[in-house]
Amino acid sequence: MTKGKKGMAALEAHLRQWQDVAERIRTQLSPSLQGQEALRKSIQPMLEARDTLQKALEPIVAQQERWQQQLESIRFPRFGLPDLSPFAKQAADFQRSIQESISPIFEQLQRSFRELPPRTQGALLLLGEHGWYLDLEMPLPALWDLKEALSVGSVRDAEDALAEYFEGKIAEIEESIRKRFPHRERLIIAAFNAHRRQEYELSIPVLLAQTDGICKEVAGQYLFLKRDKKPRTAIYVERIAADTFTAALLSPLAVTLPIGASEDQRPAGFSALNRNMVMHGESLDYGTKTNSLKAISLLNYVAHVLSPEKENP
Protein backbone atom coordinates (compact mmCIF):
# COMPACT_ATOMS: atom_id res chain seq x y z
CA MET A 1 0.00 0.00 0.00
CA THR A 2 1.38 3.42 -0.90
CA LYS A 3 1.90 6.14 1.65
CA GLY A 4 -0.92 8.17 0.10
CA LYS A 5 -3.36 5.28 0.28
CA LYS A 6 -2.35 4.57 3.87
CA GLY A 7 -2.92 8.23 4.61
CA MET A 8 -6.42 8.18 3.16
CA ALA A 9 -7.12 5.04 5.19
CA ALA A 10 -5.98 6.83 8.33
CA LEU A 11 -8.32 9.73 7.65
CA GLU A 12 -11.19 7.30 7.16
CA ALA A 13 -10.38 5.38 10.37
CA HIS A 14 -13.09 7.34 12.15
CA LEU A 15 -15.69 5.91 9.77
CA ARG A 16 -14.39 2.37 10.18
CA GLN A 17 -14.43 2.69 13.97
CA TRP A 18 -18.11 3.55 13.86
CA GLN A 19 -18.72 0.64 11.49
CA ASP A 20 -16.99 -1.64 14.00
CA VAL A 21 -19.32 -0.32 16.71
CA ALA A 22 -22.30 -1.11 14.53
CA GLU A 23 -20.99 -4.63 13.91
CA ARG A 24 -20.47 -5.22 17.65
CA ILE A 25 -24.02 -4.08 18.32
CA ARG A 26 -25.30 -6.46 15.67
CA THR A 27 -23.29 -9.32 17.20
CA GLN A 28 -24.55 -8.56 20.72
CA LEU A 29 -28.14 -8.44 19.55
CA SER A 30 -27.83 -11.59 17.45
CA PRO A 31 -29.21 -13.96 20.17
CA SER A 32 -32.24 -11.70 20.59
CA LEU A 33 -32.77 -11.52 16.87
CA GLN A 34 -32.41 -15.30 16.65
CA GLY A 35 -35.04 -15.64 19.37
CA GLN A 36 -37.35 -13.42 17.39
CA GLU A 37 -36.75 -15.55 14.30
CA ALA A 38 -37.43 -18.75 16.26
CA LEU A 39 -40.72 -17.31 17.53
CA ARG A 40 -41.68 -16.33 14.00
CA LYS A 41 -40.89 -19.83 12.71
CA SER A 42 -42.80 -21.49 15.56
CA ILE A 43 -46.07 -19.71 14.78
CA GLN A 44 -45.59 -19.78 10.99
CA PRO A 45 -47.18 -23.28 10.57
CA MET A 46 -50.21 -22.20 12.61
CA LEU A 47 -50.57 -19.03 10.54
CA GLU A 48 -50.32 -21.02 7.33
CA ALA A 49 -52.85 -23.61 8.58
CA ARG A 50 -55.22 -20.83 9.56
CA ASP A 51 -54.91 -19.23 6.11
CA THR A 52 -55.55 -22.60 4.42
CA LEU A 53 -58.56 -23.29 6.63
CA GLN A 54 -59.91 -19.81 6.00
CA LYS A 55 -59.75 -20.30 2.24
CA ALA A 56 -61.44 -23.69 2.53
CA LEU A 57 -64.26 -22.28 4.67
CA GLU A 58 -64.90 -19.21 2.56
CA PRO A 59 -67.51 -20.94 0.31
CA ILE A 60 -69.25 -22.46 3.30
CA VAL A 61 -69.30 -19.17 5.22
CA ALA A 62 -70.60 -17.37 2.13
CA GLN A 63 -73.39 -19.94 1.72
CA GLN A 64 -74.18 -19.64 5.42
CA GLU A 65 -74.57 -15.89 5.02
CA ARG A 66 -77.02 -16.39 2.18
CA TRP A 67 -79.07 -18.93 4.15
CA GLN A 68 -79.20 -16.61 7.14
CA GLN A 69 -80.57 -13.83 5.01
CA GLN A 70 -83.29 -16.17 3.68
CA LEU A 71 -84.12 -18.05 6.88
CA GLU A 72 -83.84 -15.62 9.74
CA SER A 73 -85.38 -18.15 12.14
CA ILE A 74 -82.70 -20.75 11.54
CA ARG A 75 -79.33 -20.40 13.15
CA PHE A 76 -76.25 -22.23 11.96
CA PRO A 77 -73.13 -22.63 14.02
CA ARG A 78 -70.51 -20.16 12.88
CA PHE A 79 -67.07 -21.44 12.01
CA GLY A 80 -64.33 -19.59 13.87
CA LEU A 81 -60.57 -19.48 13.40
CA PRO A 82 -58.05 -19.79 16.20
CA ASP A 83 -56.98 -16.42 17.57
CA LEU A 84 -53.22 -16.13 17.11
CA SER A 85 -53.09 -12.39 17.77
CA PRO A 86 -51.25 -12.76 21.13
CA PHE A 87 -48.37 -14.52 19.34
CA ALA A 88 -48.27 -11.98 16.53
CA LYS A 89 -48.44 -9.11 19.03
CA GLN A 90 -45.58 -10.63 21.03
CA ALA A 91 -43.41 -10.87 17.90
CA ALA A 92 -44.29 -7.30 16.84
CA ASP A 93 -43.55 -5.91 20.31
CA PHE A 94 -40.22 -7.73 20.40
CA GLN A 95 -39.22 -6.40 16.99
CA ARG A 96 -40.25 -2.88 17.95
CA SER A 97 -38.15 -3.00 21.14
CA ILE A 98 -35.08 -4.08 19.13
CA GLN A 99 -35.59 -1.25 16.63
CA GLU A 100 -36.00 1.31 19.41
CA SER A 101 -32.74 0.19 21.05
CA ILE A 102 -30.73 0.30 17.80
CA SER A 103 -32.20 3.48 16.29
CA PRO A 104 -30.30 5.98 18.51
CA ILE A 105 -27.00 4.22 17.74
CA PHE A 106 -27.46 4.53 13.99
CA GLU A 107 -28.67 8.09 14.28
CA GLN A 108 -25.38 8.83 16.02
CA LEU A 109 -23.48 7.08 13.20
CA GLN A 110 -25.25 9.15 10.55
CA ARG A 111 -24.60 12.35 12.50
CA SER A 112 -20.90 11.46 12.75
CA PHE A 113 -20.70 10.90 8.97
CA ARG A 114 -22.29 14.30 8.33
CA GLU A 115 -20.02 16.10 10.79
CA LEU A 116 -16.73 14.57 9.60
CA PRO A 117 -16.06 16.81 6.54
CA PRO A 118 -16.67 20.19 8.25
CA ARG A 119 -14.82 19.04 11.35
CA THR A 120 -11.86 17.91 9.24
CA GLN A 121 -11.84 21.15 7.26
CA GLY A 122 -11.94 23.24 10.42
CA ALA A 123 -9.00 21.35 11.90
CA LEU A 124 -6.88 21.57 8.73
CA LEU A 125 -7.49 25.28 8.27
CA LEU A 126 -6.66 25.97 11.92
CA LEU A 127 -3.40 24.05 11.52
CA GLY A 128 -2.66 26.09 8.39
CA GLU A 129 -3.28 29.34 10.25
CA HIS A 130 -0.40 28.32 12.50
CA GLY A 131 1.80 27.23 9.58
CA TRP A 132 1.38 23.45 9.90
CA TYR A 133 -0.09 20.95 7.45
CA LEU A 134 -1.53 17.48 7.79
CA ASP A 135 0.44 14.30 7.33
CA LEU A 136 -2.03 11.83 5.81
CA GLU A 137 -0.81 9.10 8.17
CA MET A 138 -1.74 11.17 11.21
CA PRO A 139 -4.71 9.52 13.01
CA LEU A 140 -7.89 11.57 13.28
CA PRO A 141 -7.94 11.57 17.11
CA ALA A 142 -4.53 13.29 17.03
CA LEU A 143 -5.90 15.86 14.60
CA TRP A 144 -8.85 16.59 16.93
CA ASP A 145 -6.45 16.92 19.89
CA LEU A 146 -4.29 19.41 18.00
CA LYS A 147 -7.32 21.43 16.97
CA GLU A 148 -8.52 21.51 20.58
CA ALA A 149 -5.11 22.64 21.84
CA LEU A 150 -4.88 25.42 19.24
CA SER A 151 -8.47 26.48 19.87
CA VAL A 152 -8.00 26.94 23.63
CA GLY A 153 -4.71 28.79 23.26
CA SER A 154 -2.24 25.97 23.99
CA VAL A 155 -0.28 26.90 20.87
CA ARG A 156 3.14 26.14 22.35
CA ASP A 157 2.10 22.62 23.37
CA ALA A 158 0.56 21.94 19.97
CA GLU A 159 3.61 23.26 18.10
CA ASP A 160 5.98 21.22 20.27
CA ALA A 161 3.93 18.09 19.51
CA LEU A 162 3.90 18.83 15.78
CA ALA A 163 7.61 19.60 15.68
CA GLU A 164 8.39 16.32 17.46
CA TYR A 165 6.07 14.41 15.11
CA PHE A 166 7.59 15.74 11.88
CA GLU A 167 11.16 15.58 13.17
CA GLY A 168 10.60 11.88 13.84
CA LYS A 169 9.34 11.29 10.31
CA ILE A 170 11.89 13.27 8.29
CA ALA A 171 13.61 10.23 6.76
CA GLU A 172 10.29 8.61 5.81
CA ILE A 173 8.90 11.84 4.32
CA GLU A 174 12.06 12.49 2.31
CA GLU A 175 12.14 8.96 0.87
CA SER A 176 8.46 9.08 -0.05
CA ILE A 177 8.76 12.42 -1.89
CA ARG A 178 11.92 11.30 -3.69
CA LYS A 179 10.15 8.17 -4.94
CA ARG A 180 7.08 10.12 -5.90
CA PHE A 181 9.04 12.78 -7.80
CA PRO A 182 12.37 11.20 -8.78
CA HIS A 183 13.20 14.03 -11.20
CA ARG A 184 13.28 16.36 -8.17
CA GLU A 185 15.42 14.02 -6.08
CA ARG A 186 18.60 16.13 -6.14
CA LEU A 187 16.82 19.22 -4.82
CA ILE A 188 14.83 17.26 -2.26
CA ILE A 189 18.02 15.65 -0.91
CA ALA A 190 19.73 19.03 -0.73
CA ALA A 191 16.85 20.61 1.21
CA PHE A 192 16.58 17.78 3.75
CA ASN A 193 20.35 17.60 4.23
CA ALA A 194 20.43 21.35 4.89
CA HIS A 195 17.72 20.83 7.52
CA ARG A 196 19.80 18.07 9.17
CA ARG A 197 22.82 20.39 9.24
CA GLN A 198 20.61 23.03 10.87
CA GLU A 199 21.11 25.33 7.88
CA TYR A 200 17.49 26.39 7.92
CA GLU A 201 18.13 29.56 5.89
CA LEU A 202 18.97 27.18 3.02
CA SER A 203 16.46 24.39 3.61
CA ILE A 204 13.35 26.60 3.81
CA PRO A 205 13.60 28.40 0.43
CA VAL A 206 14.24 25.12 -1.42
CA LEU A 207 11.37 23.35 0.37
CA LEU A 208 8.97 26.20 -0.50
CA ALA A 209 10.14 26.30 -4.11
CA GLN A 210 9.65 22.54 -4.52
CA THR A 211 6.19 22.81 -2.99
CA ASP A 212 5.20 25.38 -5.59
CA GLY A 213 6.78 23.32 -8.37
CA ILE A 214 4.89 20.18 -7.39
CA CYS A 215 1.61 22.12 -7.30
CA LYS A 216 2.28 23.34 -10.84
CA GLU A 217 3.31 19.87 -12.02
CA VAL A 218 0.32 17.99 -10.57
CA ALA A 219 -2.47 20.56 -10.41
CA GLY A 220 -1.40 22.85 -13.24
CA GLN A 221 -1.49 25.82 -10.85
CA TYR A 222 1.04 27.53 -8.57
CA LEU A 223 0.18 27.49 -4.87
CA PHE A 224 1.68 30.90 -4.13
CA LEU A 225 0.19 32.79 -7.09
CA LYS A 226 -3.23 34.38 -6.65
CA ARG A 227 -6.39 34.84 -8.67
CA ASP A 228 -9.16 36.91 -7.12
CA LYS A 229 -7.10 36.96 -3.91
CA LYS A 230 -7.20 33.15 -3.64
CA PRO A 231 -4.43 30.64 -4.39
CA ARG A 232 -4.55 29.45 -7.97
CA THR A 233 -4.76 25.89 -6.63
CA ALA A 234 -8.33 26.73 -5.58
CA ILE A 235 -9.21 26.27 -9.28
CA TYR A 236 -7.91 22.71 -9.11
CA VAL A 237 -9.73 21.96 -5.86
CA GLU A 238 -13.04 23.25 -7.20
CA ARG A 239 -12.63 21.13 -10.31
CA ILE A 240 -11.82 17.76 -8.72
CA ALA A 241 -13.46 17.88 -5.26
CA ALA A 242 -16.61 15.96 -6.17
CA ASP A 243 -17.46 15.02 -2.58
CA THR A 244 -17.45 16.96 0.65
CA PHE A 245 -14.72 14.93 2.34
CA THR A 246 -12.28 15.44 -0.56
CA ALA A 247 -13.07 19.14 -0.52
CA ALA A 248 -12.37 19.24 3.22
CA LEU A 249 -9.06 17.43 2.74
CA LEU A 250 -7.95 19.87 0.04
CA SER A 251 -9.32 23.00 1.73
CA PRO A 252 -5.88 24.40 2.73
CA LEU A 253 -5.11 24.68 -1.00
CA ALA A 254 -8.29 26.65 -1.68
CA VAL A 255 -7.90 29.52 0.77
CA THR A 256 -5.19 32.05 1.62
CA LEU A 257 -3.23 31.02 4.69
CA PRO A 258 -0.27 32.85 6.29
CA ILE A 259 2.31 30.93 4.25
CA GLY A 260 0.91 32.44 1.05
CA ALA A 261 -0.48 35.78 2.21
CA SER A 262 0.42 38.68 -0.05
CA GLU A 263 1.62 42.04 1.26
CA ASP A 264 -1.86 43.54 1.43
CA GLN A 265 -3.19 40.43 3.21
CA ARG A 266 -0.61 40.49 6.00
CA PRO A 267 -1.55 42.46 9.11
CA ALA A 268 0.78 44.85 10.88
CA GLY A 269 3.37 43.02 12.94
CA PHE A 270 3.03 39.84 10.85
CA SER A 271 5.84 37.42 11.75
CA ALA A 272 4.70 33.99 10.54
CA LEU A 273 6.57 31.96 7.94
CA ASN A 274 5.63 33.47 4.57
CA ARG A 275 6.84 32.38 1.15
CA ASN A 276 6.95 35.85 -0.42
CA MET A 277 8.83 37.39 2.49
CA VAL A 278 11.41 34.58 2.36
CA MET A 279 11.88 34.52 -1.41
CA HIS A 280 11.97 38.31 -1.79
CA GLY A 281 14.40 38.84 1.07
CA GLU A 282 11.97 40.72 3.31
CA SER A 283 12.30 38.29 6.21
CA LEU A 284 15.71 37.96 7.81
CA ASP A 285 14.81 35.82 10.80
CA TYR A 286 12.86 32.97 9.17
CA GLY A 287 15.71 30.45 9.58
CA THR A 288 14.51 28.42 12.56
CA LYS A 289 14.08 24.69 13.08
CA THR A 290 10.34 25.13 13.64
CA ASN A 291 9.90 27.01 10.37
CA SER A 292 11.92 24.40 8.50
CA LEU A 293 9.66 21.67 9.93
CA LYS A 294 6.61 23.69 8.93
CA ALA A 295 7.97 23.88 5.36
CA ILE A 296 8.55 20.12 5.43
CA SER A 297 4.96 19.57 6.62
CA LEU A 298 3.68 21.73 3.73
CA LEU A 299 5.78 19.92 1.11
CA ASN A 300 4.71 16.54 2.51
CA TYR A 301 1.03 17.55 2.51
CA VAL A 302 1.06 18.92 -1.05
CA ALA A 303 3.04 15.97 -2.45
CA HIS A 304 0.63 13.40 -1.07
CA VAL A 305 -2.77 15.04 -1.04
CA LEU A 306 -2.52 16.08 -4.69
CA SER A 307 -1.34 12.73 -6.05
CA PRO A 308 -2.02 9.85 -3.63
CA GLU A 309 -1.72 7.30 -6.46
CA LYS A 310 1.47 8.66 -8.01
CA GLU A 311 4.20 6.70 -6.27
CA ASN A 312 6.74 4.49 -7.96
CA PRO A 313 7.20 0.92 -6.66
DSSP 8-67: HHHHTHHHHHHHHHHHHHHHHHHHHHHHHHHHHHHHHHHHHHHHHHHHHHHHHHHHHHHH
Final residue of a structural domain among 99, 114, 129: 114
Determine, yes or no, domain membership for 60: yes
One domain for residues 80 and 215: no
Determine, yes or no, domain membership for 157: yes
Helix or strand (DSSP H, E) at 226: strand 226-227
Backbone angles phi, psi at 309, to 5 degrees: -95, -10
Q: In 168-288, where does DSSP find H-type helix?
A: 170-180, 185-196, 200-219, 233-240, 244-250, 275-279
Determine, yes or no, domain membership for 124: yes
Of 4-18, 123-137, 231-245, least confident by mean pLDDT is 4-18
- pLDDT (0 to 100) of residue 110: 47
One domain for residues 192 and 246: yes
Determine, yes or no, domain membership for 36: yes
One domain for residues 56 and 187: no
One domain for residues 94 and 123: no
Query: Would the pLDDT of 99 be above 60?
Result: no
Determine, yes or no, domain membership for 160: yes
Q: Packing angle between helix 85-129 and helix 140-151, nearest 10 degrees?
A: 60
Give per-residue pLDDT as tens, 109-124: 444 445 567 888 889 9
One domain for residues 90 and 201: no
Q: Which domain holds residue 231?
A: 117-305
One domain for residues 231 and 135: yes
Final residue of a structural domain among 89, 114, 139: 114
261 neighbors 164 (Cβ within 8 angstroms): no
Determine, yes or no, domain membership for 313: no
Q: What percent of the chain has pLDDT over 90?
A: 39
Q: Packing angle between helix 170-180 and helix 155-167, nearest 10 degrees?
A: 60
Of 24-33, 72-81, 133-142, 269-278, least confident by mean pLDDT is 72-81
Determine, yes or no, domain membership for 48: yes
- Out of 31-40, 197-206, 213-222, the most confident range is 197-206
Query: Would the pLDDT of 178 be above 90?
Result: yes
One domain for residues 167 and 264: yes
Number of domains in the chain: 2
The band of 228, judged by pLDDT with boundaries at 50, 70 and 90, is confident
The band of 146, judged by pLDDT with boundaries at 50, 70 and 90, is very high
Mean pLDDT of all residues belonging to the chain: 77
One domain for residues 166 and 211: yes
Burial 89-108 (b: 16+ CB within 10 A, else e): eebeebeeeeeeeeeeeeee
One domain for residues 241 and 157: yes
Determine, yes or no, domain membership for 236: yes
Final residue of a structural domain among 114, 138, 157: 114
The band of 100, judged by pLDDT with boundaries at 50, 70 and 90, is low
The band of 128, judged by pLDDT with boundaries at 50, 70 and 90, is very high
Q: What percent of the chain has pLDDT over 70?
A: 59
One domain for residues 161 and 270: yes
One domain for residues 152 and 286: yes
One domain for residues 188 and 291: yes
